């Protein structure tokens, strides 16, 4: 069975998310075929399709959706709260005509990273399929030179309002005189092998979210699952979806609280105690929160 997946066009989160899903589908026996324009997908054979909201700014490509056996369609919100809802990054690119057509198709299953909320009012049922851990591309890789007390690997992730940079700088500033050996790599273009080693070798990983995620609590970033699946101990800011998924992260309310939580795991625990926690948390992610798990969830949507 073939499954068509949109080729990621830019460096960023979607590239890594797509990579995770591509290898997940392949591990489940699917032949993955990339598409650039949805209207160019051949409709004379049996296939599944992972399509995205911005593939259908008009009604072009609707034939590919109608002809597919099953379509997993990522639906953007159409009523996201201000100020974010004023930016195209937070608003559906589909016309009302395209949305209405999609809503009438029984082979289409709508999904979003976020918990169900009031922001998809024009769409039919939207299923919550959170982000996940890429268990295929990340494996145990310890290196003494990457044995940091606390690690963070990521970018500034400007969502259109550039709110996250200020938040990140505030948090990182509190670690400066903490006495912790910190490995913070922001926009460093490190290799995948280096990232993999840093995550697995460090004692604790931290995670910081965007302003809208902190306020609304509907979704969490991929780093949540990557940190728990690789490092095994995560200290994060307080995000609603992390609690809803019952993930074993330590949720904090301020930069100071995040530093103090990290210190407890580094200074107040033995290596054996940390390893016991890491093993339990990694196993939980591998059992429930990988991209293979998410693909299986999609296959079971009704």
Strand partners, 133: 290
* Angle value at C-alpha 119, between 118 and 124, nearest 5 degrees: 85
> Does residue 235 share a domain with residue 120?
no
In a domain, 272, yes or no: yes
Assigned domain for 220 exists: yes
Q: What is the arithmetic mean of pLDDT over 268-284? A: 97
Could you tell me the CATH number of the domain that includes residue 58? 3.40.50
Number of domains in the chain: 2
DSSP string, 98-147: HHHHHHT-TTEEEEESSPP-TT-TTSS-EEE----B-TTT------GGG-
| 104 and 204 fall within a common domain | no
Residues 174 and 284 in one domain: yes
Highest mean pLDDT among 77-91, 130-144, 244-258: 244-258
Answer yes or no: is pLDDT of 116 > 90.
no
The predicted structure's pLDDT at residue 60: 79
Q: What is the CATH number of the domain that holds 263?
A: 3.40.50.2000
Which pLDDT belongs to residue 58? 65
Query: Does residue 158 share a domain with residue 51?
Result: no
Residues 149 and 191 in one domain: yes
Q: Do 157 and 266 belong together in one domain?
A: yes
Q: How confident is the model at residue 80 (pLDDT cuts 50, 70, 90)?
A: very high
Identify the pLDDT of residue 68: 98
Give the per-residue pLDDT at 250: 98
Residue 12: pLDDT band by 50, 70, 90 thresholds?
confident
pLDDT, residue 256, reads 98
Could you report the per-residue pLDDT of 172-226, keeping only the tens digit for each?
999 999 999 999 999 998 999 999 999 999 999 999 999 999 999 999 999 999 9
> Is residue 230 in some structural domain?
yes
> Is 135 part of any domain?
no
Q: Average pLDDT for residues 251-272, to the nearest whole number? A: 98
Whether residues 40 and 149 fall in one domain: no
Residue 156 shares a structural domain with residue 56 = no
- On the question of pLDDT at 113 being above 90, the answer is yes
30-67 pLDDT, tens per residue? 999 999 999 999 999 999 999 998 888 767 789 999 99
Secondary structure (3-state) at 275: helix
pLDDT band at 257 (very low <50, low <70, confident <90, very high): very high
Residues 21-30 pLDDT 10s: 999 999 999 9
What mean pLDDT value characterizes the chain? Answer: 95
- Are 109 and 233 found together in one domain? no
pLDDT for 61 equals 87
Cβ atoms within 10 Å of 123's Cβ, excluding its own: 21
Q: In this predicted structure, what is the pLDDT of residue 13?
A: 81
pTM above 0.85, yes or no: yes
Same domain? For 74 and 157 the reply is no
Q: Is the pLDDT of residue 159 over 90?
A: no
Which secondary-structure segment (H or E) carries 252? strand 250-252
* High-pLDDT (> 70) share of the chain, %: 99
Domain range enclosing 43: 2-129
Please check whether residue 196 lies inside any domain of the structure: yes
Residues in the chain: 302
Answer yes or no: do 257 and 121 share one domain.
Answer: no
134 pLDDT more than 90: yes
Let me know whether 217 and 121 are in one domain: no
Domain-embedded: residue 294: no
């Amino acid at each position: 069975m073939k499954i068509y997946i949109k080729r990621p066009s830019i460096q960023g989160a979607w590239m890594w998310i797509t990579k995770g899903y591509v290898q997940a589908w392949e591990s489940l026996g699917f032949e993955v075929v990339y598409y650039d324009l949805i209207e160019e997908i051949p409709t004379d054979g049996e296939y599944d399709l992972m399509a995205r909201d911005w593939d259908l700014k008009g009604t072009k490509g609707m034939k590919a959706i109608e002809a597919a056996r099953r379509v997993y369609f990522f639906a953007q919100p159409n009523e996201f709260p201000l100020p974010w809802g004023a930016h195209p990054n937070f608003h559906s690119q589909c016309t009302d005509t395209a949305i209405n057509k999609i809503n009438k198709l029984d082979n289409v299953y709508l999904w979003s990273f976020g918990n169900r909320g009031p922001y998809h009012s024009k769409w039919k049922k939207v299923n919550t399929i959170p982000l996940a851990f890429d268990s295929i591309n990340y494996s145990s890789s310890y290196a003494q030179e990457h044995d940091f007390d606390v690690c963070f690997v990521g970018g500034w992730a400007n969502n259109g309002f550039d709110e996250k940079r200020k938040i990140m700088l505030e948090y990182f500033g509190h670690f400066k005189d903490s006495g912790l050996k910190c490995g913070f790599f922001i926009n460093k273009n490190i290799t995948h092998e280096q990232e993999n080693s840093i995550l697995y070798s460090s004692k604790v990983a931290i995670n910081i979210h965007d302003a809208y995620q902190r306020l609304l609590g509907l979704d969490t970033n991929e780093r949540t699952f990557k940190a728990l699946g690789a490092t095994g101990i995560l200290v994060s800011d307080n995000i609603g979806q992390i609690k809803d998924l019952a993930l074993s992260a330590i949720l904090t309310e301020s930069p100071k609280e995040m530093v103090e939580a990290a210190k407890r795991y580094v200074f107040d625990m033995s290596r054996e105690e940390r390893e016991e926690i890491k093993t339990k948390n990694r196993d939980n992610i591998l059992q429930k929160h990988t991209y293979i798990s998410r693909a299986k969830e999609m296959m079971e949507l009704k």
